Chains A and B, each alone.
Chain A
Amino acid sequence: MVSLRLSDLQKVASRCQTCLFLGLALGSGALLPIQASLNAQLARSLDSIPLAADISYLTGTVVLMALLLSGRFDPPNWSALGQAPRWSWIGGVLGAWYITSSTYFVSVLGTTLTLGLVVGGQAIVGVITDHYGWLNLPRHRLTPHRRFALGLMAASLFLLTQPR
């Protein structure tokens, strides 16, 4: 009896934990349009999109460094940094383009259209790189499901970009 109750308790506890992490995932996703909107305001105040993107990226770097130095996370293996292939450093340059373009387009097109296009672009490029196994990623061929998904994305982007 006791063991049964205990396992029931564990089930409830693990379910609570899943709900907690689901809440965290939903909350973190909500940060993205807020981030883009705040960057857009920064760009308006400074009258410069690249300067706003740079300041946003710099403060993000400082916060991440502070989190690393707080010692709450596993210490990174900095000595291995030299072994990382050179192309793996390029993520930041590509991210800089995302921050800059989203800062600009959010103030012109609004958050829905901008982030809809961003997510669409991510998904479409993701399916293509998966198909060819580019970028050192495991290869996932285009299946009928994925072709249908690409069609859905095209329809979605078409609807999103309709003038109102």
Chain B
Amino acid sequence: MDMLIALLGAGSGGGFLSVGAAANARLRQTLHSPIAAAAINFMVGSSTLTLLLVLGVFGPQQLDRLGQVPWWAFSGGGLGAIYVTVNTLVVSQLGLTTTTLAVVCSQMVLSLVIDQWGWFGLASHPISAARVVAIGLLLGAIALTQLDRNRPAPDARSCSLCDR
């Protein structure tokens, strides 16, 4: 696949998350509840997608295929909700820097493992030295930016790199 498309497609997903994290932080502040802010966030996101699907922007959908989906494939959204909830608990205890590093670290290590053995029906992408070095550099870069940051006001506390 063209790496430029990958950079723009997946990279922009991350960039938008970073902008969305600021919006979520503002909602959290207003509602005094991280879970409620996340619920609004998820609701707006799913309504947007539902609207686009109903309008037929993505063409006709085969809803009859729902019966063929393995049950575990439906749990991705629930995991996302659990992730958001656990994350709000952890950030208040460990602080931003530690939480960010722990989340990014375990996320990337498990990614390597899933790729290596092609779990969950994915194609296998074996671990290479270049990838391990790349993830090390990424973690180093994030540690540098996080440690460089002044302590934010408690109200603005959010793990911008973890926000999903």
A148 to B74, CA, bound (A): 41
Contact of B76 among A35, A119, A148, A163 (CB under 8 A): A35
Residues of B within 8 A of A (CB-CB), count: 120
Q: How far is the CA of A136 from the CA of B13 in the complex (A)?
A: 21
Interface size on A, residues (CB 8 A): 121
- Interface SS, B side: helix
Chain A residues closer than 8 Å to B6, beta-carbon distance: 105, 108-109, 113-114, 117, 161
Asked if B13 and A121 make an inter-chain contact with CB atoms under 8 angstroms apart, the answer reads yes
- Interchain residue pairs with CB less than 8 A apart (18): A21-B90, A22-B94, A29-B103, A34-B110, A35-B79, A41-B72, A46-B61, A47-B65, A51-B58, A54-B46, A59-B76, A74-B32, A89-B27, A92-B40, A102-B13, A112-B125, A118-B14, A155-B134
CB within 8 Å of A: which residues of B?
A: 1, 3, 6-7, 9-27, 30-33, 35-50, 52-53, 57-58, 61-63, 65-66, 68-70, 72-87, 89-90, 93-94, 98-99, 102-112, 114-115, 119-123, 125, 128, 130-131, 133-135, 137-138, 140-142, 144-145, 147-150, 152-153, 156, 160-162, 164
